[in-house]
Each structure stands twice: as C-alpha cells, then as structure tokens.
Amino acid sequence: MTLRIAEIFGPTIQGEGPLIGEPTVFVRAGGCDYRCSWCDSLHAVESQYRHTWAPMTDQAVWDEVRRLSGGQPLTVSLSGGNPAIQDFAPVIALGRAEGYRFACETQGSVARPWFADLDTLVLSPKPPSSGETVDWAVFADCLSAGKGARQVVMKIVIFDETDYQWAKDAHARHPQLPLYLQPGNPEVDPDSPVDPQSLADRLGWLTDRVMADGWFAPRILPQLHVLIWGNKRGV
Ligand code: SF4
C-alpha cells in the first residue's frame, strides 16, 4: 500500500481539541476533498504541492514515526489534508502492535472502517465561513464507523456569529458528542507573524458569546501551537 504523505513531524504537543498538550507525532496526509477558505494546511491540500508529497509504504511511514519517537509509544495523530481519503488501517495496525495510540482529525466527509481502530476520532465539520457544505448523512456514517474508537468528539472552528449559530445547530444534531470550540485564525500564511492579542481577542469574544448564552456544553480552547509558534509548519 502506498500513501501520499505531506509531512511527518514531532514529537511535539497536540495543539487542539481533546488531546491538547499531549506529546504527539503527526502524520500529515496529502490531499483533501475540501477547499476551506481559511485552510491553514494548503501545502497538504492543493495539487500544486503534490510534487512535495512523498509516496510512502505503510512500513516506511511507520519506520519514520518510530524513529522520531525513539521507539517510545506515544500518540500518533493522522491529519491532513483529509486523512480519511486514504487507507491508514495498516499503519494503525503496525503501531498498535507496538503499543502506540492513534488519533485522527477529519471533517467527516468520508467514512472509513479504520475509524473503529482509533483511540480518538475528532470529527471537525466545517462551518459556513469555510465555504464548504457538510453532508450530515455522511457525517453520521463517520460516527457509525467510529463506534469502536475509544472516544469520538466534535470540534468546530468559529470565525463569526454565523459560524457560532451553526455550531449550536451542529451540537443539537449530535448532542451526545463532546464538543470543542476553537476561534478561527485568519492569519494562515506560514511566513507571516501572528498577532497574539488578536488571537486572545478572538478567544475572549467566543468565550463571552458562549457564556452569555448560558451554553455550557462546549469546551473552548485556543490553538496552543499557534500561540507558541505562530503559523510555522512542522512543529
Ligand atoms: Fe484544509 Fe481541513 Fe478544509 Fe481540507 S478540510 S481544506 S485540510 S481546513
């Protein structure tokens, strides 16, 4: 099996969602079925970068994760792009045999049987500001596929009031899913500095908005890696 891999890096900390702060090696898959207006991973999405994606066997991917982690089992995060458009079942099997844990973040547009083999499945449906439209039937298929995973959560990036109201609807569709909200970062150029005050202001706005509604279901988190390293890649 050959996988298209944009980058493998780490260990570093997971910067988002339920595993925030956890030491992690990232396997970033190349290719995505979405084109979100504010995508911060275009190097793993647009076909113009395809020549930078390495065709790697399952074993080669696994050997690199093991090298980076020094053979110490930790969490491996499958990200992208959309990792769900490729078959990561063999990589997960190789890693689990050595005691590693696996997480995957995907928008929920493609359901895969290997979701059941994950420790953490983060389904991140994209709100209106992305310019994409969620197919909720396929999202439900993803939930079904992930039934065997240790935890399944929903994470939504919020840029504005429209996204916020959309997130409330999304939660109402799947109230059983732990929900993580994250303010969007409009500064996605890896070569441009981020403005920490602007990030804090967005986090403050979202927190105030949720509290004013008396809506206590979500956890509200920043993108920790952006606070530390800005938009730099591979950290
Ligand atoms: Fe980028 Fe994720 Fe949207 Fe794909 S789903 S375009 S990787 S933000």
Q: Where are the domains of the chain?
A: 2-229
Residue 85: pLDDT band by 50, 70, 90 thresholds?
very high
Question: Which pLDDT score is estimated for 189?
Answer: 74
First to last CA, the chain: 27
Q: Name which residue sits closest to atom 3 of ligand 1, judged by CA.
A: 36
Q: Angle 161-173/196-212 helices, nearest 10 degrees? A: 50
Tokens of 76: 């491996």
pTM above threshold 0.75: yes
**What kind of fold does domain 2-229 have according to CATH?**
TIM Barrel (3.20.20)
Q: Is 41 in the pocket of ligand 1 (CB under 6 A)?
A: yes
Residue 107 Cβ inside 6 Å of ligand 1? The answer reads yes
What number is the average pLDDT over the span 157-162? 98
CA dihedral 24, 221, 135, 89 (to 10 degrees): 10
- pLDDT over 90, % of the chain: 88
Average pLDDT score, the chain: 95
In angstroms, the Cα distances linking 65 to 19, 71, 141 are: 18, 8, 29
> Which residue's CA is minimally distant from atom 8 of ligand 1?
39
HSE-up (13 A, CA, CB side) for residue 223? 24
5 lines ligand 1 (CB under 6 A): no
d(CA 235, CA 10): 7
Beta strands of the chain (E only): which ranges? 2-13, 23-29, 54-57, 75-79, 101-106, 120-123, 151-158, 179-183, 219-220
- Burial bucket for residue 47 (CB in 10 Å: 0-12, 13-18, 19+): exposed
Which pLDDT score, from 0 to 100, does residue 234 have? 73
Give yes or no for residue 32 CB within 6 A of ligand 1: yes
Closest alpha carbon to 190 in 215, 219, 225: 225
Band (pLDDT 50/70/90 cuts) for residue 232 is confident
* Closest CA to ligand 1's atom 1: 39
**Ligand 1 center to residue 123 CA distance, Å?**
12
Is the pLDDT reported for residue 164 higher than 80? yes
Whether the CB of 215 sits within 6 Å of ligand 1:
no
Residue 7 and residue 115: Cα distance in Å, rounded?
21
The answer on pLDDT for 227 being more than 90 is no
| CB environment 193-218: b (16+ within 10 A), e (fewer) | ebeeeebeebbeebeeebeeeeeeeb
Going by alpha carbons, the residue nearest to atom 5 of ligand 1 is: 34
Compute the distance from residue 214 Cα to the ligand 1 centre, in Å: 30
What average pLDDT does range 175-200 have in this prediction? 88
